[in-house]
């Protein structure tokens, strides 16, 4: 018995060693699965590979749903420190996820939701809650079949809810990690239950090239793949990531050691720009080979014209001008902490044919040495990104103040909005002691204060104002104009504090324009200064919804202003 028959059989028996709760309406074989695992080491671009494959399937007209299975015990990514784990990405429905979800959204150009992200913490929480309700009917609750069964249920629920042609599941971490063992076991079971041609396993491994040896070595990769085999998972496709192109002999060794035919062992070397990756993978036939395993290659045909066009439009020409943008944050030692901002800037690069260099400014340093502020003059624009906590905050306020005074293009994102208000209140409105109650709870002028609904909340997990909300644009403002005169835009938020409405009047009287607000409420969400090269800030995170070929207008016009400054067209 296999596939459909097997599944129906085991789902119907109540007293059984199987635990395969099938969501209502699940049709075995309707949705196919690609499982992406990693071996040897993390950080080899498994997320990028997964995202590019999603793009390639979508390019064939397939309805694609990506899914990330994270091994950690946090229920979501909300409480993770960006310095350790990279940015926390926020979905429209408010789910706080791993930054890979951002990458999937950007490559697929579609919004994802809660169902696209699972962590071990979420699985365990679900199981313990169910157990307390007596849902396991007197059974002892075990890793196998209950934890694995719950993982499969999450996966199949996505299939029922979104009815995709394919679900691409990326397993976080690498084979051999203690934490993801059950995720891998669940995927092995999925394969067993769904049957062949319905599940394809891809292992992304790494071929090392030690400088002292000067040639590629495949042993680490062989061992990694062996480890996967020992878990009962036979990969169908192996992607060998490497710094430089690997020779045929390495592919042969991998093929022989892994039972994977040579033409399904594919070398993918480093590339400079990530937008080149989908086309490069198409040229290597990767998506075609996966669809062959799943018997879908005849049903969904490649659209190379669209892909080439997309790739070209994301390119920057060799002789393009370069502008330098300073990013004034405190997590500057880990670039992944600001990955969506870097991506939103990249989206402008192609569309404006301008190269953007990033200068990382640590605001805690600026705080210690305020005379360093004048170094800001050499940049074409400054971004103050989101952030939490007191460390480095006076440095950020000083940056917002300096850019305003010196006519340097400024873009403030979330916390960058709040510091722009504080700086303006202090030095233009002369409100001595203006601050946010986040940094100084008893300050004289709390121009930024806790959101009213936040005053009742305790605990830090998923308690912020999160996710997509409408922002009303005020006619006649720059914000209204650059957003194509739309009345409303939808953007994503992640904050606890906001502009204190008691200070709107005095700020406006001194020339600050609030050009975006919450509909039907006096909650200000975009600010601008009219007589400035570019001075805009928003309470939301425009970087989360900026997409390739569709840059967010705030970023786009900020870079345009930076170009004008670079060309000497702005008074200094
Ligand atoms: N710390 C600020 C708040 O909670 C800003 C948050 C952010 O930048 N994401 O409101």
Q: Which of 386, 393, 463 to mutate to test the pocket of ligand 1 (most atoms within 8 A of CB)?
A: 386
What ligand 1 atom has the least distance to the C-alpha of 438?
1
Backbone angles phi, psi at 352, to 5 degrees: -110, 5
For residues 485-497, one letter each, b for 16 or more C-beta atoms within 10 angstroms of the residue's C-beta and e for the rest, the string is eeeebebbbbbbb
Examine residue 145 and say whether the peptide bond preceding it is cis (omega within 30 degrees of 0).
yes
Whether the CB-CB separation of 123 and 164 falls below 8 Å is answered with no
Q: Which of 387, 389, 417, 544 to mutate to test the pocket of ligand 1 (most atoms within 8 A of CB)?
A: 387
Highest mean pLDDT among 124-138, 323-337, 538-552: 538-552
Please tell me the pTM assigned to this model.
Answer: 0.93
386 ligand 1 Cβ < 6 A: yes
The region of weakest confidence among 53-57, 355-359, 362-366 is 362-366
pLDDT for the residue numbered 569 = 77
Look up residue 61 and give its DSSP letter.
Answer: T
Is the predicted pLDDT of residue 566 greater than 90, yes or no? yes
Residue of the CA atom closest to atom 5 of ligand 1: 415
Residue of the CA atom closest to atom 6 of ligand 1: 495
According to CATH, what is the number of the domain 39-199+271-313? 3.40.50.300
Q: What is the mean pLDDT of residues 22-43?
A: 93
Alpha-carbon gap, residue 33 to 246, rounded angstroms:
28
pLDDT for the residue numbered 9 = 61
86 ligand 1 Cβ < 6 A: no
Alpha-carbon gap, residue 424 to 421, rounded angstroms:
5
What ligand 1 atom has the least distance to the C-alpha of 388?
1
388 ligand 1 Cβ < 6 A: yes
- pLDDT of 242-267, one tens digit each? 999 999 999 999 999 999 999 999 99
- The per-type count for the chain, helices as H runs and strands as E runs, is 19, 21
Which segments of the chain belong to CATH 3.40.50.300?
Answer: 39-199+271-313
Under DSSP, is residue 82 helix (H, G, I), strand (E, B) or coil? helix
Tell how far the Cα of 496 is from the centroid of ligand 1, in angstroms. 6
Tell how far the Cα of 103 is from the centroid of ligand 1, in angstroms. 22
Is the predicted pLDDT of residue 571 greater than 90, yes or no? no
497 ligand 1 Cβ < 6 A: yes
Tell how far the Cα of 77 is from the centroid of ligand 1, in angstroms. 16
What ligand 1 atom has the least distance to the C-alpha of 389?
1
Which segments of the chain belong to CATH 3.40.50.880?
Answer: 321-571
Confidence of residue 332 (pLDDT cuts 50, 70, 90): low
Q: Does domain 321-571 have CATH number 3.40.50.880?
A: yes
107 ligand 1 Cβ < 6 A: no
Alpha-carbon gap, residue 201 to 34, rounded angstroms:
6
Tell how far the Cα of 381 is from the centroid of ligand 1, in angstroms. 22
pLDDT for the residue numbered 257 = 95
Look up residue 143 and give its DSSP letter.
Answer: I
- pLDDT of 438-480, one tens digit each? 999 999 999 999 987 766 665 656 578 899 999 999 999 999 9
Backbone angles phi, psi at 471, to 5 degrees: -120, 130
pLDDT for the residue numbered 452 = 72
Highest mean pLDDT among 336-345, 450-459, 533-542: 533-542
The residues carrying an active-site annotation are 414, 541, 543
Alpha-carbon gap, residue 20 to 519, rounded angstroms:
46
540 ligand 1 Cβ < 6 A: no
Q: What is the mean pLDDT of residues 379-396?
A: 93
Residue of the CA atom closest to atom 8 of ligand 1: 386
DSSP string, 490-544: EEEEEESEEE-GGGHHHHHHTT-EEEEE-TTS--EEEEE-TTSSSEEEESS-GGG
Tell how far the Cα of 519 is from the centroid of ligand 1, in angstroms. 20
| Radius of gyration of the chain measured on its C-alpha atoms | 26
- pLDDT of 157-178, one tens digit each? 999 999 999 999 999 999 999 9
Whether the CB-CB separation of 240 and 251 falls below 8 Å is answered with yes
pLDDT for the residue numbered 363 = 87
**Tally of residues, the chain:** 572
Tell how far the Cα of 86 is from the centroid of ligand 1, in angstroms. 16
Q: For CA atoms 191, 194, 196, 199, give the dihedral sign.
A: negative
Confidence of residue 126 (pLDDT cuts 50, 70, 90): very high
CA 65, 66, 68 angle in degrees (round to 5)? 145
Give the residue ranges of DSSP H helices in 231-303: 248-258, 277-283, 286-293
Look up residue 87 and give its DSSP letter.
Answer: P
201 ligand 1 Cβ < 6 A: no
Q: Which of 436, 494, 543 to mutate to test the pocket of ligand 1 (most atoms within 8 A of CB)?
A: 494
551 ligand 1 Cβ < 6 A: no
Average pLDDT, the chain: 92
Under DSSP, is residue 559 helix (H, G, I), strand (E, B) or coil? helix
Look up residue 144 and give its DSSP letter.
Answer: I
The region of weakest confidence among 179-183, 468-472, 506-510 is 179-183
Work out the burial of residue 260: count CB atoms within 10 Å of its CB; fewer than 13 is exposed, 13-18 middle, 19 or more buried: buried
Q: Which of 384, 415, 541 to mutate to test the pocket of ligand 1 (most atoms within 8 A of CB)?
A: 415
Cα maximum dimension of the chain? 79
* Torsion, Cα of 425, 426, 432, 434 (10° steps): 60
- pLDDT of 65-112, one tens digit each? 999 999 888 888 877 777 677 889 999 999 999 999 999 999 999 999
- pLDDT of 401-420, one tens digit each? 999 999 999 999 999 999 99
- Three-class secondary structure assignment of 422-489: HHHHHHCCCCCCEEECCCCCCCCEEEEEECHHHHHCCCCCCCCEEEEEEEEECCCCHHHHHCCCCCEE
Q: What is the mean pLDDT of residues 124-131?
A: 92
Give the start-end residues of each E strand in 290-341.
Answer: 321-329
Confidence of residue 11 (pLDDT cuts 50, 70, 90): low
**Measuring CA to CA, which residue among 493, 499, 533 is closest to residue 515?**
499
Tell how far the Cα of 498 is from the centroid of ligand 1, in angstroms. 8
330 ligand 1 Cβ < 6 A: no
Q: Report the 10 Å Cβ neighbour count for 335.
A: 15
CA 349, 410, 417 angle in degrees (round to 5)? 115
């Amino acid at each position: 018995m296999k596939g459909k028959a097997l599944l129906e059989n085991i789902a119907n028996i109540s007293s059984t060693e199987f635990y395969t709760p099938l969501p209502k309406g699940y049709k075995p074989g309707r949705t196919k699965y690609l499982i992406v695992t990693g071996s040897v080491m993390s950080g080899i671009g498994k997320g990028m590979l997964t995202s590019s494959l999603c793009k390639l399937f979508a390019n064939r007209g397939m309805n694609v749903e990506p899914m990330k299975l994270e091994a950690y015990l946090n229920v979501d990514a909300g409480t993770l420190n960006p310095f350790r784990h990279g940015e926390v990405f926020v979905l429209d429905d408010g789910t706080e996820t791993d930054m890979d979800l951002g990458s999937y959204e950007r490559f697929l150009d579609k919004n994802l939701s809660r169902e696209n992200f699972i962590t071990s913490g979420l699985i365990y929480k679900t199981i313990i809650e169910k157990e307390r309700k007596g849902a396991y009917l007197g059974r002892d609750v075990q890793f196998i079949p209950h934890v694995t069964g719950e993982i499969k249920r999450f996966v199949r629920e996505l299939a029922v809810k979104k009815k995709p042609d394919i679900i691409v599941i990326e397993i976080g971490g690498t084979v051999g990690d203690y934490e993801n063992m059950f995720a891998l076991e669940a995927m092995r079971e999925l394969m067993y239950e769904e049957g062949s041609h319905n599940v394809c396993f891809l292992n992304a491994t790494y071929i090392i090239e030690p400088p002292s040896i000067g040639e590629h070595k495949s042993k680490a990769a062989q061992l990694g793949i062996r480890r996967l085999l020992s878990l009962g998972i036979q990969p169908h496709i192996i992607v060998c990531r490497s710094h430089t192109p690997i020779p045929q002999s390495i592919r042969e060794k991998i093929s022989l050691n892994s039972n994977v035919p040579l033409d399904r062992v594919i070398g993918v070397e480093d590339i400079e720009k990530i937008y080149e990756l989908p086309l490069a993978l198409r040229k290597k036939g990767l998506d075609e080979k996966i669809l062959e395993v799943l018997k879908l290659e005849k049903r969904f045909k490649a659209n190379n014209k669209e892909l080439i066009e997309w790739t070209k439009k994301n390119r920057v020409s060799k002789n393009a001008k370069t502008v330098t943008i300073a990013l004034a944050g405190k997590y500057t030692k880990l670039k992944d902490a600001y990955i969506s901002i870097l991506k939103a800037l990249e989206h402008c690069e192609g569309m404006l044919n301008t190269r953007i260099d990033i200068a990382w400014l640590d605001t805690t340093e600026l705080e210690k040495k305020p005379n360093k502020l004048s170094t800001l003059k050499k940049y074409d624009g400054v971004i103050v990104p989101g952030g939490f906590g007191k460390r480095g905050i006076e440095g950020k306020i000083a940056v917002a103040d300096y850019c305003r005074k010196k006519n340097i293009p400024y873009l403030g994102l979330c916390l960058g909005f709040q510091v722009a208000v504080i700086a303006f209140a202090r030095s233009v409105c002369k409100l001595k002691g203006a601050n946010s109650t986040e940094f100084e709870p008893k300050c004289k002028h709390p121009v930024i204060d806790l959101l009213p609904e936040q005053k009742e909340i305790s605990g830090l997990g998923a308690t912020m104002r999160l996710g997509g909300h409408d922002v009303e644009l005020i006619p006649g403002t720059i914000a209204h104009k650059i957003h194509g005169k739309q009345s409303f835009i939808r953007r994503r938020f992640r904050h606890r504090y906001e502009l204190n409405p008691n200070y709107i009047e005095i700020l406006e009287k001194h020339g600050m324009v609030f050009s975006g607000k919450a509909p039907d409420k006096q909650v200000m969400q975009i600010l601008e200064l009219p007589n400035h090269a570019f001075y805009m800030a928003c309470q939301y995170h425009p970087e989360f919804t900026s997409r390739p070929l569709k840059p967010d207008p705030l970023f786009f016009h900020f870079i345009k202003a930076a170009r004008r400054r670079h060309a000497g067209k702005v008074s200094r």
